[in-house]
Amino acid sequence: MKTNPVSAQLAHSGGRHSHWLLLAAALAAKLLQRRPSAPQWLFIIALLYAVGLVSGMLLFTARVEQAIYRENAALLAADLRVESSRPIEAASLVNWRALASDYGLAQLH
């Protein structure tokens, strides 16, 4: 059984977004092996444009998502809560509260 080099490349890529670009390039290469007509050229150009556009939008939305998470992390950094399965020693608690007041942090209770 002959393996398809495109499917082997897709299996190696781990299913990332770039596999659509590989599929489009493989289809374009198959169509170009024959004598392409004007409608085929138009289809190839439209296909590559669409895949490039979708890939660009995915990259843009990923960057926006990362920026939102970064801003949320900076905004919510003050909402830190310390928990432990063991009781917290009173001396450690006094030291932590002193450090928190030195940094100007407030306590809920």
Contact at 8 Å (CB) between 94 and 107? Answer: no
What is the rounded distance in angstroms from the CA atom of residue 14 to the CA atom of residue 10? 7
pLDDT per position as a tens digit, 12-49: 545 566 777 788 788 777 777 777 678 888 888 898 89
* Inside any domain, residue 90: yes
Per-residue model confidence (pLDDT) at position 10: 45
Domain interval for residue 34: 5-102
- Residue 12 carries which side chain, given as an amino acid letter? H
Query: With pLDDT > 70 as the criterion, what percentage of the chain qualifies?
Result: 75
Q: How many domains does the chain have?
A: 1
Contact at 8 Å (CB) between 16 and 58? Answer: no
Per-residue model confidence (pLDDT) at position 64: 95
* Inside any domain, residue 40: yes
Per-residue model confidence (pLDDT) at position 13: 47
Neighbour-count burial for 19-49, b at 16+ CB within 10 Å, e otherwise: bbebbbebbbeebeeeeeeeeeeeebeebee
Contact at 8 Å (CB) between 84 and 96? Answer: no
- Does position 104 have pLDDT exceeding 70, yes or no? yes
